Structure formats: structure tokens, C-alpha cells
Amino acid sequence: MERKSFLRAVAFVSLAPVVLLAACKDAGKKQVADEKKQTYTCPMHPQIVQDKPGTCPICGMDLVPFDKNNKETSLTLGESQIALANITTMVVGTGALSNFKQLNGRLVTDPERSAVISSRVPGRIEVMYIKETGVKVNKGQPLYKIYSEQLASLQQEYLLAVAQVKQFPDDARFQQIEKAARQKLTLYDQSDIEINRLVQSQKVNPYVTYPATVSGVVSELTASEGQYVAEGGAVMRLEGYNQLWVEADLYPAEASAIRVGQSVKVIVSGWENEPQTMTVQFINPALQSGSQLMQVRGSIPNPDNRWQPGLQANILLPVKSKGDVLSLPVDAVIRDGKGSHVWVEKGRGKFEPRMVKTGMENFDVVEITDGLQAGDTVVVTGAYLLYSEYILKKGADPMAGMPGM
């Protein structure tokens, strides 16, 4: 009996290593199989993870494969990938930062560059050389021709006075009458050349063509061919757009932050990358009718008439500023429910996310109060592409597991 127990013990001791080795091999194979098993996630919702292809139950996007065993927090991109993603960086430094308050405004026509073309004589308009609005005219360009019986009478009166002076050259009274008659023709826009031509031809001409007194764009036509207009009656309006007013609304409580003569920035809608500098010329001391708003006004140049009255133009009113702060372009900072983070370049083509705290901010720049130091190289364009690439490759939010700041 003892012999059988002994043989059984020897056999167990001999087979135990073989059994343990086989078990270890099976466990290793299972671990390798688990590691090689492909997993999938949603590019927009990295919390969605499954072991087979499909669609995201939240947004419906196709799931993409990712390597769940890659625990490295940085991304490494090649030169071509950096170029395609338009990734650019800047070295963080300190400087001044100003904050702005936006005042909603608009471009309007400058009345100082508007002119009403009116008839200098009563009569009937024979020809309108400009028959539609929006037409650009130059100074001296003919605008309309008018037939005036009163002008014909004044011309006849002047010819009679000239004849009397010739007949009685030493009579001072006739000379005064001639000067007065000539002055009347001058007041009706008859030039010296036209008056001398009248004397030479001795023929009355009741038609007079009026030229543009200024250059501009026809904004309004108030008369038409065949219409009788009185002396001083409006025929058309010309507006110059080479300089425009900027009018903006502000509440009375904000009026203390702005003053006449102050320089401010103006952002014209559609030209956000070309801010204009404007000097405040007028602050209306009274509230606008039917509102609780005041109005501030200035003017900006309008080269090549590229802006039209009515366009939205916002005034950026500086309200406070700081000196010697770390700042970044607004687009360099990615914000989500976990906080704000940026991408820092640790080496050529190697980028890692870093949680930051932000402070004062304007439309272009944001202050970084914690998380960066002067001299750090930060991605300023392409940060969102790095964020997406990280989720695609690693199937997790780059800020997951990072301590809050």
C-alpha cells in the first residue's frame, strides 16, 4: 500500500511542471488574443467603446478602430501630416492684454459728403442725362438741360443794357445797369464764357445745361424729363462714399468709458481681419427716441467704395488692460466640459495636451493664468485636428485622467 502511495506521489511531482507550463501557455495565448482583439470607438463620443464595427448610438457616426493598449499621452506626426493639418506653433511670451466691450453699430452716409443738385432757374427740364440711381458722376459732368423763359428774359435784358452802354459810353447809370444785368446772369450759373458768347452772337438761348458741382453717386432722382421745376427745386441727390460715418448704440451707464477724441477699433462685418481705427467725434447727450440708448459716432475712410452704407460695423471699446501676461490666440485653446487645454510641442512632430487656466479674454487673445510658462511652444492653428487625431488613435479624450486645475 505504501509502495502505491509512493509511486503516485512521484508521478504527480513529475507531471506537475508539465501541467503548469501548459496552463501558463494557455493563459499567455489568451492574453495575446485579448491584446490583438480590435476595439472601436466614436470620433465624436470617445466614451462609446465596443469590440465590433457599428455606429454610434448617440450621433450615428461609423465607429473607427483604435489601439486601446497605447497609453502614451502624446501624438507623433510626420512632416507631411503637419503640413496637411496646417499645424503652426508659437513661443509663448509675456505682453500687454486689453479687453474690449463691443458696441453694435452700422455704416451710414456722411452728410458732409452729400449734395442736393437743385435748379438755379425756374423752367421745364428738357433732357435728363442721368436717369437712374446708383450711377457715379464726376464733377463738371452734365446732369440735365432746362428750358427757362425767365433766363431768356434776363439774357434779353442784358443785351439791351450792353447796347445802351455802347451808345452812351460815358453814362455811369447805363454802366451800372449793365453790371446789374450781368450779375443776374451770373447768379443763374451763366459763366463768363457763356455771357461773352451771348454778346457776340446777339442771340438769346433759353436752354441751359447744368453740370455736377461735386463728384458722387446718384442716390435719389426727384425730377424727370418734361417736368417743370421751380427755382431752387431739387433735381437729384449725390452722395460721396469715400468716407462713411460709423454710428453705434450704447447705454448711458457705458458712456463714462468713452470720450470725444478717443481712438477705438471698428470691425466691419465681412472684413473682420481688417480692423479700422476711428476717432470718436460725437456722443449724443440725449437718448434716442423710443429707446434707452445713446449714440456715438465717428468716421472711417472707405477706399475704392468697398463698403456700403447699412453694413454692420461694431466698435470695440477698451474697458480694462493688463501688462506682462501670458496670452495665446483664442483658437489655440480647446474648451470642453473638463476645462481648457492646449497642445504643446515637445519635439519636432511630437505634441502633447496640457490643461490650462484662462483669464481675461478679448476677441483675438486669451490670457493663460496657469499651465504654461514663457518659452513653451504651443500649437496655434490645427489644435482641433490634433484633438480629433488623438481620439481616433487612442479612443479617449486627451484630458481624461488629468487632474483639474
Question: Could you tell me the CATH number of the domain that includes residue 176?
Answer: 2.40.50.100
Q: Quick check: 218 and 133 in contact, CB under 8 A?
A: yes
Mean pLDDT, residues 357-367 taken together: 80
Q: Is residue 2 part of a domain?
A: no
Domain count, the chain: 4
What are 35-59's pLDDT values in tens digits? 456 777 776 676 777 888 888 888 8
d(CA 207, CA 151): 8
Residue 300 confidence class, pLDDT cut points 50, 70, 90: very high
- Return the half-sphere exposure (C-beta side, CA atoms, 13 A cut-off) of residue 11: 6
Same domain, 38 and 89: no
pLDDT tens-place string over residues 133-156: 989 999 889 999 999 888 888 888
- What pLDDT is attached to residue 403? 57
Is the pLDDT reported for residue 208 higher than 80?
A: yes
| Co-location of 348 and 389 in the same domain | yes
Mean pLDDT for 376-403 is 75
Domain boundary among 66, 89, 124: 66
For 197, how many CA atoms within 13 A lie in the half-sphere containing its CB? 7
Which residue, 179, 208, 239, sits at the end of a domain? 239
Tens digit of each residue's pLDDT (9 = 90 or more) over 146-195: 998 888 888 889 889 988 888 888 888 888 988 998 888 888 778 888 88
| 151 sits in which H/E element | helix 149-167
Is 235 found in the same domain as 131? Answer: yes
Residue 33, pLDDT > 50, answer: no
Give pLDDT tens digits for 59-72.
Answer: 887 876 766 555 56
Same domain flag for 301 and 221: no
CA separation for the pair 197, 202 (Å, rounded): 8
Q: For all residues of the chain together, what is the average pLDDT?
A: 81
Domain final residue, candidates 239, 270, 299: 239
Residue 162 lies in a domain: yes
Determine, yes or no, domain membership for 8. no
pLDDT level of residue 34 (50, 70, 90 thresholds): very low
1 occurs within a structural domain: no
pLDDT of residue 74: 73
Looking up residue 284, the CATH number of its domain turns out to be 2.40.30.170
Question: Domain for residue 23, yes or no?
Answer: no
Assigned domain for 22 exists: no
Q: Are 164 and 174 in contact (CB under 8 A)?
A: yes
394: enclosing H helix or E strand: helix 383-394
Same domain, 384 and 293: no
Same domain, 122 and 234: yes
Joined grid coordinates for residue 107: 455704416
Is residue 281 domain-shared with residue 293, that is, in the same domain? Answer: yes
Give the residue-averaged pLDDT of 294-308: 89
* 373 occurs within a structural domain: yes
Residue 16 is assigned to a structural domain of this protein: no
- Averaged pLDDT, 354-383: 86
Tell me: pLDDT of 201 over 80.
yes
- Same domain (yes/no): 220, 266: no
Summarised one tens digit per residue, pLDDT across range 70-106 is: 556 777 777 877 888 788 888 888 776 666 778 889 9
Query: Could you tell me if 148 and 174 lie in one domain?
Result: yes
Q: Where in the sequence is the domain holding 274, given as residue range(s)?
A: 105-110+241-311
The predicted pLDDT at position 44 comes to 64
- pLDDT, tens digit, 9 for 90 and up, residues 107-138: 999 888 888 988 888 889 999 999 999 899 99
Residue 345, domain CATH: 2.40.420.20
Q: Are residues 117 and 235 in the same domain?
A: yes
On whether both 79 and 117 belong to a single domain, the answer is: no
Q: What percent of the chain shows pLDDT beyond 70? A: 82
Q: Is residue 233 over pLDDT 80?
A: yes
**Which cell is 283 given?**
456722443
Distance of alpha carbon 123 from alpha carbon 188, whole angstroms: 12
Look at 33 and 361; give whichever has higher pLDDT.
361
Grouping H, G, I as helix, E, B as strand and the rest as coil, residue 158 is: helix
Residue 214 and residue 118 in one domain: yes
